[in-house]
Every structure is written in structure tokens, then in C-alpha cells.
Amino acid sequence: MTERKEATIAWPPHWPRVLDARFGTPRPGGYRATPEDFRVEEYLGFEPEGQGEHLWLWLEKRDLTTAMVARRLAKACEVAPRDVGYAGMKDRHAVTRQWFSVHLPGREAPEDLDARLAELPLTLLEVTRHPRKLKRGVHAANRFRLRLTGEALDGPELAERWDWLCRHGVANYFGPQRFGPDGRNLHRAASLLARGWRKRDDRDGMLLSAARSYLFNELLAARIVDGSWNVPLPGEAVVLDGSASRFVVEAIDASLIERAERLDLHPSGMLWGQGESVARDEALALEQALRGAHPELCAGLERAGVKMARRPLRLRLAAPRLESGEGEAWLSFTLPRGAFATAVLRELIAHPTLNFHPSAEGADRGGVDASTAAVQR
């Protein structure tokens, strides 16, 4: 019998920054020295109705994963874990605000719910009702407020880099927390797909996500190198800013270029899986090059039954703000769900956890394992 080889992927990857060609490598900087330095607030985009079978709770957590809070809520409300819902996984090493739902048909929350949660660093901010469970991915965006320190604050460069991102947009990389310390989730995904994927638990779904994210980042990196990450190509499937609407570019004209320059629309890239890409011509050729570069990952994802999807190559920073103080700077901005604040930070400061380096685990508390996957979701 032929011995099966485990799939391997070289790590760390060398995914380029957009701003290095213009400003050079950013100076070293620090972030998330304490949870209070990294604040995230979830924005649903709709209001709970105030009535229904599901109790909805607006909570602030500190140094906890979303999964930890969900398990504690299930125990406190005496329900099964499956009866607790949330829209996205938020960072552990942060202070974050997000909604949770608990299925409590015909009964109220325990009167001592605050006391049952008191042993955790949680604050219950609001309680209401809604007819439906809170589902993953239904939120519209996340608002960030981040504290930066270090050499990167010396001189005008940080403000210049920030201003460029505000005017031209940010490369929509999946952040390092998607891949785990030292790319651990990606290596496990490659081995799992080589053996033949079958879902054993929810963590296996996270591994599939890591593989798709890696392929997307590879495509985005290639588009940054050739200068087309923010410019529609012939056959491009462009996404309208702030929307899931898209259309395929038949011809490049001045009007289309102008809309791309003012961030009204963005080029998109494939999230690999079963199905046919809507891209054509030059844009499709770049996507299909992934199969030649990573045949095992691509074939494994198709065999696993993952459906092809698309993701913008570029993001607009909504409501951006930079506040400089003595030895610190605070960034505020809003990103759509699925986007990573670390993709913004890696353009502004040099830090091991932002460059996918093997030394990322635990450094400056910025190395977040994928189980606490952040911003983005």
C-alpha cells in the first residue's frame, strides 16, 4: 500500500502590504497591551422587536471568548447550549459589546441572572425580546476603538498612512487570528482535506474556513503585487460598497474607474468551493491560477462540498478617526462583518502578530487563537 503524505504549507506567508511601496515598511508599534486597548462594538443594523420567544441580551465582556459567554448563559438560564445564539465571534483579549439570544418560550429570565453571571467579567447592558434566535452573520458591522503605542507614533508617517487608507481603502485580508498561532489551523486544515473531510465537530468547520481564507489571501496578495487589488479588471465581478449586490464588468471605461476611485465599488475575489465563478476573462484567469498553485487545498474544499462565494478585495473605513495623545494614538473606525481590524493595523505598524510570523503566539497579547476569532465575524 502506498504511504499517504500529509499535506504541508510553508508558513509564514509573505502577503504584501499595500502601503509599503509608497511609504516603506511601517515602524514598530504596540497594540492590545491590555483588553481595554482593543474595544469592539457590534452593530446589528436592526432593532429587536421587544417581544417574542427569545430573550436578547446586550452584554459587555472583557477577556472572554464569545463561546465562553454563550456556555455561561446557557447554564445561567438553564437551557441547552444550542438554545443560545450570537451573531459573531469577538476577540477574547478585548473589551467587546455584542448581542446574545436565549430561547425562553413562555418564561422570563431568572430573577437573579445578574448574580449568576457575576463571577465573570461581564456587564449586562440591556435585556429585550425578539421572535427569532440570533443567527451567525446577521450583524451588519463592528465598530472599533484601538490604542497604539511605540515608535510608529514618532513623526508624521502614521497620520500619512492612515490618511491614505481613509481615502483609498484597505486590502481586505483575513487576519492572522483566522489561521491560529504559527498557522496551526491552516496546517490542520491541509491535513484534514488531504485525508478526506467530514464534519466531526464545529472546529472542523473553522478549519475549512482557514483553508478558504488562505486561498483568498493568496489571490489578494497577487492582485496587490500586480496593482489590480483596487482596480476592476476585464471580467471582474465588482461588489457595490456596503452591499452584497454585484455585477460583472463587461468593459472598463472612465465611469467605472471613477466609481472605483471614490470607493463606490470594489473588485472581488473567490472564496474557493464548488460551483462556477461568475468572473470572466482576465479576472477569472487570476482566480484559476490558485488551482495550479494549491491543487490539494482547492480539490479538498470541493470534495468537502463547500459552496463557492465571493469577498471584496478592498474595504472602506467608515467613520474613521485618529486621535493623538502623549505616547499613544487612538484609532476609531467601522468595518463590515467579516472584516478584520488587524488588516488595518498591519498597514500602520510593524508587529509580529500582524505579519503572520511564527513568533506571533502570545506576543503583546496580540496573538489571538482562531477560537477567539475577531473582528471579523
Q: Which residues are catalytic, by number?
A: 91
| Main-chain phi, psi angles of 9, to 5 degrees | -135, 130
Q: Which three cell numbers stand for residue 161?
A: 498612512
CB neighbours of 309 closer than 8 A, spacing ≥ 6? 270, 271, 273
List the beta bridge partners of residue 322: 331
Residue of 344, 338, 287, 371 lying closest to 64 (CA atoms) = 371
At 43, which helix (H) or strand (E)?
strand 38-43
Q: Which three cell numbers stand for residue 27?
A: 515602524
Task: Tell me the C-alpha distance between 257 and 243, whole Å.
Answer: 19
Task: Tell me the C-alpha distance between 22 and 41, whole Å.
Answer: 32
Residue of 126, 105, 113 lying closest to 51 (CA atoms) = 105
Q: Supply the DSSP string of 188-255, one letter for each residue.
A: HHHHHHHH-----SHHHHHHHHHHHHHHHHHHHHHHHHTT-TTSPPTT-EEEETTSS-EEE-SS--HH
Task: Tell me the C-alpha distance between 243 and 113, whole Å.
Answer: 38
List the beta bridge partners of residue 144: 40, 333
Task: Tell me the C-alpha distance between 270 and 348, whole Å.
Answer: 27
Task: Tell me the C-alpha distance between 232 and 279, whole Å.
Answer: 11
User: What is the chain's length?
Assistant: 377
The Cβ-side half-sphere exposure at 229, using a 13 Å CA radius, reads 26
Task: Tell me the C-alpha distance between 106 and 85, whole Å.
Answer: 18
Residue of 292, 316, 305, 137 lying closest to 215 (CA atoms) = 292
